Chains A and B, each alone.
Chain A
């Protein structure tokens, strides 16, 4: 597929293409050992172990969800408490205004709802999506990254990056192809 992208001529990354997930995992590990840090792998399905191989750790999503859930629970309970005891106290069958057991289900549902919304939006926000254009799409044959090919990119802003040396290194990883991709 071709994206009509403005070509500035600057190199975005050196990209190697692999025929299998194992080959990519192997190459990713070697790339990290070589000292490259600005790396990114593209796969058609989640390959376990890839984040470790590329030294990528991020636990912000679970923590954000926890915060979202707690806020939801707080909101849910406060809503019921405020409406039932402060704004419109109503005696129903002699039950206390602040009927804790009866207020549990709505508090619970609000916790789940807010956690789910946080999970959904934090994934897109942290991943920087939606973003229709990205330099990696200039890679030849990248349409197979969502089908059956596995790509590894070493970005040009990596301190260790130099066109010749990095190409040489990537050719040693047994790829199907290596290409220099423009921004």
Chain B
């Protein structure tokens, strides 16, 4: 039996500007809304952060030898986790910048949340390349161009240098974009907060925002241009990350399809993470009228689309291995991916990333939150496995068979990876508690556009508030 079509309204229920304020800002002003689920998740996050602290301390004390990395597999979990985390961040920029330029107003209720995710994910990502240098405090002079006493400069012809610039620019721009969006919302909170201490703090971070039309005018100009700048930036970041591999001659890395395929994979993993966090949070904090079933449906469709692009990338990798005529490429693909000791990783990846998202063709699966959550977990695992298949697996088999060597991670590899997940959870839940999870002014703007010019009449009877929205679609 075909399902009835979903309601296209992006805000449901009877709403006015004040009620939108109430549902979002009360999460900060009324701290009693945070009950047991928050504490459980926060505790998990804090424990993970503790694990991370231990893993980093031991790493710095003992050196990178505690990891399973070897020669030829000099890049392993550290780089896998770096690429995975960076990729997760990309969905946030896609939602906040690209969907803004494409005039998709449904992004308004999920952009704040996913921008926060971007920033925290990039923080987790940045730790790995920095720490895998072994002694990061010494690494500074070959990572950043500053006039040092050795008179040395970084090697700008290396994709690794491009990576340093791309990731640090990406982090800075994401942070600026995020903070700019927060300022008007901090002003809203400042005006509603009753607590003296909170009010002063919010007055400081809102920079004295008054909502003047001159403010909004310049603000919107800059916000739109920032979105226009972030769009090519996000594409460039993961393209540059893929150059770390694609510009080498290692079999399995030297593929020209890497840049677009990495970007699509990043968005794929990122949307899975947005859904993984969004679905429980909307349930716990009763935000179903702002993050509607329609939003989840759309996000599932984007996950499916990017999943198909990624699948196409897997087919091309296979095709290139054969078509290049390079026997090492084909040997690697056949004996190290399709068969061989790591075949389990390759086939799990195919199941997670190619097979499981196909369920999203069926409308019932896109609306069943349990199914969506399960598939998103598969996608997250699958994207991690993809990087595992590409990075350490390619290094285990090179041009000289005598140099081939297996790679086995140690407990410290897992500890640091698990630690960053905990750190990410901790930051996300602190964010949920102390900052507006949904962009308040953008949702009001959305409501205003949904009302159309209907409330022009209400201005005649000025005492009343704008009528609640009833059954109108945009």
Binding site for B on A (CB under 8 A): 1, 18-23, 26, 40-47, 50-51, 54, 56, 58-62, 65, 79-80, 83-84, 87-88, 90, 92, 95, 99, 102-103, 105-106, 108-110, 112-113, 115-117, 119-120, 122-124, 126-127, 129-134, 136-137, 143-148, 174-176
What secondary structure prevails in chain B residues at the interface with A? Answer: helix
Binding site for A on B (CB under 8 A): 16-18, 21, 145, 151-157, 159, 161-162, 165-166, 169, 172-173, 176-177, 179-180, 184, 187-188, 190-192, 199, 203-204, 207-222, 225-226, 229-230, 232-233, 236, 240, 243, 441-442, 444-445, 448, 453, 455-456, 458-460, 462-466
Smallest CB separation, A137 vs chain B (Å): 8
13 inter-chain pairs at a CB distance below 8 angstroms, sorted by A residue, are A20-B458, A26-B456, A46-B441, A56-B213, A58-B217, A88-B153, A92-B155, A105-B162, A109-B233, A123-B218, A147-B18, A147-B192, A148-B465
Smallest CB separation, A61 vs chain B (Å): 5
Give the chain A neighbours of B456 by CB distance below 8 A: 20, 22-23, 26
Give the chain B neighbours of A102 by CB distance below 8 A: 156-157
**Known A147-B18, A147-B21: A106·B161 in contact at CB below 8 Å:** yes
Flag if A117 contacts B176 (CB, 8 Å).
yes
Flag if B459 contacts A130 (CB, 8 Å).
no
Flag if B208 contacts A145 (CB, 8 Å).
no
Flag if B225 contacts A119 (CB, 8 Å).
yes
Flag if A108 contacts B188 (CB, 8 Å).
no
Flag if B157 contacts A95 (CB, 8 Å).
yes
Flag if B151 contacts A88 (CB, 8 Å).
yes
Nearest A residue (CB) for B183: A129
**Known A22-B455, A62-B221, A143-B191: A41·B212 in contact at CB below 8 Å:** yes
Flag if A145 contacts B210 (CB, 8 Å).
yes
Q: Which of A43, A47, A105 contacts B166 (CB 8 A)?
A: A105
Give the chain A neighbours of B212 by CB distance below 8 A: 40-42, 127, 136
Give the chain A neighbours of B187 by CB distance below 8 A: 146
Flag if A23 contacts B459 (CB, 8 Å).
yes
Give Cα distance in the complex from A129 to B17, angstroms.
Answer: 26
Q: Which of B217, B230, B232, B236 has the most CB of A within 10 A?
A: B217
Give Cα distance in the complex from A40 to B214, angstroms.
Answer: 8
